[in-house]
Amino acid sequence: MSIFERVLKFLREKERLRVYLQTFPTVLWLALFVFMPLGLIIVFSFWDMVLSELIPVWDLHNYVNLLTDPLHIKLFFQTVGMAALITLGSIALAYPVAYYISMYVEEKYKYVWLIVFLTPSLITWVIRIFGWRLVIGYSGLVNWSLQTLGLISEPMDWMMHHWWTVVFVLIMGWAPWLVLPIFVSLEKIEKDLVDAAKDLGASSWKAFQKITFPLSIPGLLVATLFVMIPTYGEFVTPALLGGRAGLMFGNLIQYSFARSPSWPWGCALSVFLILIALISAWVLIK
C-alpha cells in the first residue's frame, strides 16, 4: 500500500479529522479576511491617534464622545430613518413586480422577466449615480424638459443635495434586486391554497391578505436584511447626491479614515454601526 493510500485510509477512519481538514480553508479565509480586520477595528476603537501615530490608551473615550455628541446622534437617527424609508420604498416597488411575475407570467418567461429587471445592476453603481445626476441635476433632463414646456422659468435646485434625493436614488437602485428574493418566496406558495380560498368564497384581495402575503413574509424579511444592513453604511450616494443635508453615518466613518485622519474614532463609529446592524438582523430573524 502506497503512502497516499495510507493517508486516505487514515482520513476515512478519522471522520472528525476529515471534517476539520475540509473546513480548514473556509475557516482560514474567514479568519484572515473577516475576523482579523474586524478584530483590529475593535482593538483600535479603544486607542487614540496623535499626529498619525496610534497610541494604545485602552479607554472608552471614543464611545463616550459618540454617545454624548448630539450631532452624531442626530446623524445616526437620520441614517436609520433613511434606511427604513429606502427599505420600505424598495419593497413597495419590488413586491408588485415579483407578485405579477409569479402569478401571471407564463412559466417559461418568468426568469426572462427576472433577468430584465436585474440587467441594470450589471452597470457600475457609480455610473448609475452620475446618470441620475444627469436626470435630476440643476441642468439635468427634468429641468430642461420643464423649461422647454414653459412650466418653469429657471432650473429648480430642490431635486439635488437633499436627503430625499438619496432616498429616491437608492430605492431605484435596490428595488430591482429585491424582486428576486420576494419572487422566490412567492414561488414556494402552493397555488392550490389560493384557488381553494377562492372556491370557498374569498375574493382575490381576501385570498392575498390571508394566504399569499403571510406566506411571503420570509421573502420580505430577507429583502429587508438585503437592503437595510448595507444602507446603514452607505456613503457614496450621499456624498455624490445628498450634499450636507443628505449625509449618512457612513460618510462620517469615511471622513474619519480618509480625511481627518482619526482611525480610532472611525473604528469606534464602525463598531457602533456593526452592533446596530447585528441588533437589526437579530430582531428581524426573531
pLDDT tens-digit readout, 128-171:
998 988 888 888 888 888 888 888 888 887 778 889 999 999 99
What's the angle, vertex CA 121, arms to CA 118 and CA 125, rounded to 5?
160
Quickly tell me which residue has 471614543 as its cell.
Answer: 62
- Would the pLDDT of 85 be above 70? yes
Query: Is pLDDT at 10 greater than 80 in this prediction?
Result: no
Model confidence at 82: pLDDT above 90: yes
Q: Give the pLDDT mean for 218-235.
A: 91
- Is the Cα torsion angle 97, 184, 80, 120 positive or negative in sign? negative
**DSSP symbol at 52:** T
What is the per-residue pLDDT for 63?
A: 93
Query: C-alpha angle with apex 284: 226 to 115, nearest 5 degrees?
Result: 25
Per-residue pLDDT band at 49 (split at 50, 70, 90): confident
Nearest partner of 75 among 230, 232, 261, judged by Cα: 232
pLDDT at 126 over 70: yes
Q: What is the mean pLDDT of the chain?
A: 88
Domain boundaries along the sequence of the chain? 70-285
Q: What is the pLDDT of residue 250?
A: 92
Instruction: Specify the pLDDT at position 92.
Output: 95
Top mean pLDDT of 87-101, 144-158, 245-259 is at 87-101
Angle at which helix 249-258 crosses helix 70-104, to 10 degrees, equals 120
What pLDDT is attached to residue 119? 86
Whether 191 shows a pLDDT value over 90: the answer reads no
Which of 222, 231, 244, 238 has the alpha carbon at shortest distance from 276?
Answer: 231
Does the structure show a pLDDT above 70 at 15? Answer: no
Residue type, 161: H
Which residue in the block uniquely carries the three cell numbers 486607542?
47
Q: How many CB atoms lie within 10 A of CB 213?
A: 15
Between 14 and 73, whose confidence is greater? 73
Contact between 222 and 181 (Cβ < 8 Å): yes
Does residue 219 carry a pLDDT above 80? Answer: yes
Does the pLDDT value for residue 11 go beyond 90?
no
pLDDT of residue 13: 61
Phi, psi of 49 (to 5 degrees): -140, 125
pTM for the structure as a whole: 0.86
In this prediction, residues 264-271 reach a mean pLDDT of: 94
CATH 3.40.190.10 fits 70-285, yes or no: no
Please work out, in degrees rounded to the nearest 5, the angle formed at the alpha carbon of residue 122 by the alpha carbons of 116 and 127.
120
Who contacts 140 (Cβ-Cβ below 8 Å, separation ≥6)? 133, 134, 159
Q: pLDDT band at residue 248, thresholds of 50, 70 and 90?
A: very high
201 backbone dihedrals φ, ψ, rounded to 5°? 105, 0
Question: What percent of the chain clears pLDDT 90, i.e. is strictly above it?
Answer: 47
With contact defined as beta carbons under 8 Å apart, do 168 and 128 qualify? no
